[in-house]
Structure 1
């Protein structure tokens, strides 16, 4: 297990080894008078989070704020389990996510539909959060966590309707969860930062995603802190990459959707996944990243879910 990484600005990043993958999902710790945890990942990651807090010499009774950008289980599935161990903490969530943290039955049902027999291994247990320990934050509302640090919450749909991003006044950075996609740190060894859209089901909307991107871009931040994974110090590159890749994801989805019109959902998604991976593999090869590089493992995991979200989006679009 790696040590927590200092991000500057009284902030640390703990690797949560989501899906047993290094640099897959992280939790950000703000070392202020009121200790703040941003993102928890799923319950199997909580031991890594607890160990990281211990390495940072933070007592669980010192944790005051636990914030989840959205309620997908790889970001918030472990929040109830963590809260049981943090007696003085409250959980902050988008208003659309509140009831699902209090009663996660629909979250569990939806995840089982996507992950099938792998659900227990990936996500169990999912512990309900007591309603009196949930605080919602509407668009533009703030939370002061230190003398010189205020967090501002921005409604940023596109990846999900229950998603907010959190602007940090001290770092002039923003925690974007999955709204601005996924950063792949392994590519940094090849002298570039790869960012791809996260289009997972079941509320993916490319138009909303681009509107949210525009809103973040207008803030003029210096850094973007990704749920998956780490800090991008060149926000302009992030915006450019999402604007480049997102239309291509949708275009491939539309083409494969038409070609597989008579096939079931699963087959449509597999076809989209294969074409997406072919496109990105060719791009990586041009960048000098070999097929043996472990970044491919991360990308394959993500594209399987992204393809399902694209097909789900196109199905709903066709019905409407």
Structure 2
């Protein structure tokens, strides 16, 4: 666990090391968690709290960037251990935290009940009186430290990002893409957009990225994974890739093997960009790191594509 400006990065342990992060922001002896991983991450979250010298009763807030299960699946279980904490979520996501039945059913239809239980654990409802909806501009007050919630759709319609005014950083969930530390080179971090199902909207994502960059933050804190700087360069990289990814999807539309073609094309795109970035790993090494994201990006692009042709 690392700390800067009272910001602690927590590896939730989901999938593999340094894949899925949550954050603990500490101010004047009180804490706010931002995202929380799955049920299996709850012991890690509590260990991080103890390492920061806080008790569960000193956590005032659990802020969720969005309700995808790698970010918020453990929210109910974690909240049950935090007697004073309120759970802050986008207005479009709040109902899924109060009653996760639909969220569970949708994911189970894709992955199956057994896989869901093993991967995420059963979702625990959060009492409605503990859930705070955060529309555009909502400010979470952490002992006088303003954590401003920004409506940042594109990856999902129910996505918010958090601007920490004191540290001048943004917690971006999946809006500012994925940047795994395995790809770091002398040129800095390597970044990839995430278009995972089912609400990818490239135009909205472009706008959300521009909004975050316009704040001139010193750093972005990504769920996948950790802090990145050189914000304007990375934003340019994201904009360029979003455009190429949507162009590839349009090319793939009428192909009989659309999904496999798109996965191969995305792998080519990321491999070429990683090589240009100075990363000298093999294509298989890239697939080992990005394979899940390539699959999800292909699925998300296809959902978007079908929506364009309805």
Fold match (TM-score > 0.5): yes
1:1-320 alignment to 2 at 5 Å? 4-6=1-3, 8-19=4-15, 21-33=16-28, 34-116=30-112, 118-147=115-144, 149-189=145-185, 191-260=187-256, 268-286=258-276, 287-291=278-282, 296-319=287-310
Say whether the 8 Å CA contact 1:139–1:153 is kept in structure 2: yes
Q: Using structure 1 for the length normalisation, give the TM-score.
A: 0.91
Shift of 1:192: 2.7
Say whether the 8 Å CA contact 1:80–1:126 is kept in structure 2: yes
Question: After the TM superposition, which of the residue ranges 232-241 and 89-98 deviates more from structure 2?
Answer: 232-241
Shift of 1:311: 0.3
Shift of 1:191: 4.1
Say whether the 8 Å CA contact 2:9–2:226 is kept in structure 1: yes
CA distance in 2, matches of 1:278, 1:114: 27
Say whether the 8 Å CA contact 1:270–1:304 is kept in structure 2: no
Say whether the 8 Å CA contact 1:103–1:128 is kept in structure 2: yes
Change (3 A) 1:272 1:113: farther
Shift of 1:51: 2.3
CA distance in 2, matches of 1:292, 1:160: 29
Shift of 1:113: 3.3
Shift of 1:205: 0.3
Say whether the 8 Å CA contact 1:24–1:298 is kept in structure 2: no
CA distance in 1, matches of 2:73, 2:263: 25
CA distance in 2, matches of 1:295, 1:151: 35
Shift of 1:180: 1.5
Shift of 1:271: 2.9
Shift of 1:301: 1.2
CA distance in 2, matches of 1:269, 1:131: 40
CA distance in 2, matches of 1:153, 1:130: 22
Deviations 1:118-164 (Å, cap 9, x if unpaired)? 322211121111101100111012122123x2111111100001011
Number of positions where the alignment pairs a residue of Structure 1 with one of Structure 2: 307
CA distance in 2, matches of 1:308, 1:181: 16
Deviations 1:238-287 (Å, cap 9, x if unpaired)? 21111111111111122122212xxxxxx633331222112212332442
Say whether the 8 Å CA contact 1:36–1:67 is kept in structure 2: yes
CA distance in 2, matches of 1:281, 1:207: 25
SS of the residue aligned with 1:238? Answer: helix
Change (3 A) 1:91 1:294: farther
Unaligned runs of 5+ in 2: none
Unaligned runs of 5+ in 1: 261-266
Change (3 A) 1:58 1:289: farther
CA distance in 2, matches of 1:316, 1:176: 26
